[in-house]
């Protein structure tokens, strides 16, 4: 199977030579089930790659900022790869609350934890470390700041663990997402009868 340009302009700017393939379809149909499966696999792979980076960060001691930026990229790319094409081509769950809505909600929760980690916990840790770095503080103040620093780092670690659990769950759950739109299922059912 090879990729070729479509000079007629009837499909997107490229198409698969095999017309029976359920890869990317025409402009009106949108991606097929195989294309959605590929996007889901890439999104899951990005999330699992971030989990490996986060674990490496725990072991080696990577800067929290590096892990936070990588989390933003992983969760943002995952929700873009999985959610955007399904939203554009109206692929939705059959139930009121189905796998797609749950997946997008969990990924959004991951992004919210990225926000909390980057702008609340990390900034608090930096503020406390800057206060501790002052040499003219009394011993009781340094002890109080050390306790505050431990609490802030604990929150940061909790945010990291929650994001790691969400990333693994999202990577595994991507296989359960709907791959066809309800309109195309209706067309198939109409053509069969």
Give pLDDT tens digits for 29-57: 667 888 899 999 999 999 999 999 999 99
Q: Which residue has the higher pLDDT, 70 or 187?
A: 70
Which pLDDT band, with edges at 50, 70 and 90, does 179 fall under? confident
Domains in the chain: how many in total? Answer: 1
Which pLDDT band, with edges at 50, 70 and 90, does 182 fall under? low
Please count the CA atoms within 13 angstroms of the CA of 94 that sit on its side-chain side: 9
**Does residue 181 carry a pLDDT above 70?**
no
Residue 25 lies in a domain: no
Q: At what angle do helices 64-88 and 122-132 cross, to 10 degrees?
A: 170
Q: Between β-strands 3-5 and 14-16, what pairing exists: parallel, antiparallel or unpaired?
A: antiparallel
Residue 131 lies in a domain: yes
Mean per-residue pLDDT, 76-80: 95
Domain that holds residue 82: 33-180
Residue 28 lies in a domain: no
Residue 189 lies in a domain: no
Residue 121 lies in a domain: yes
- Counting other chains too, the contacts that 53-59 makes at CB distance below 8 Å and 24 or more residues apart are 54/160, 54/163, 54/164, 55/164, 58/160
**Does residue 74 carry a pLDDT above 70?**
yes
Mean per-residue pLDDT, 141-153: 93
Which pLDDT band, with edges at 50, 70 and 90, does 187 fall under? very low
Residue 2 lies in a domain: no
> What pLDDT, on a 0 to 100 scale, did the predictor assign at position 92?
74
> What pLDDT, on a 0 to 100 scale, did the predictor assign at position 64?
82
**Does residue 115 carry a pLDDT above 90?**
yes
**Does residue 14 carry a pLDDT above 50?**
no
- Dihedral of CA atoms 7, 22, 41, 163 in degrees, nearest 10, equals 90
**Does residue 25 carry a pLDDT above 60?**
no
**pTM score over 0.95:** no
Mean per-residue pLDDT over the chain, rounded? 82
Residue 124 lies in a domain: yes
Which pLDDT band, with edges at 50, 70 and 90, does 17 fall under? very low
Residue 93 lies in a domain: yes
Q: Compute the distance between CA of residue 181 and CA of residue 131 in angstroms, rounded to an integer.
A: 56
């Amino acid at each position: 199977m090879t990729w070729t340009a479509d000079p007629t302009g009837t499909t997107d700017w490229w198409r698969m030579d095999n017309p029976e393939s359920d890869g990317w379809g025409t402009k009106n149909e949108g991606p097929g089930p195989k294309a959605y499966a590929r996007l889901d696999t890439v999104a899951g792979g990005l999330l699992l790659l971030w989990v490996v980076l986060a674990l490496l960060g725990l072991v080696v001691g990577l800067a929290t900022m590096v892990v936070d930026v990588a989390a933003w990229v992983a969760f943002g790319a995952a929700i873009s790869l999985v959610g955007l094409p399904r939203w554009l081509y109206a692929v939705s769950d059959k139930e009121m609350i189905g796998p797609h809505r749950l997946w997008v909600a969990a990924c959004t929760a991951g992004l919210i934890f990225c926000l909390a980690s980057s702008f609340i916990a990390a900034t608090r840790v930096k503020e406390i470390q800057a206060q501790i770095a002052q040499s003219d503080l009394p011993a009781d103040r340094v002890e109080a700041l050390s306790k505050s620093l431990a609490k802030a780092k604990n929150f940061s670690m909790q945010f990291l663990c929650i994001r790691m659990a969400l990333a693994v769950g999202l990577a595994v759950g991507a296989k359960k997402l709907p791959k066809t739109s309800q309109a195309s299922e209706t067309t198939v059912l109409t053509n069969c009868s």
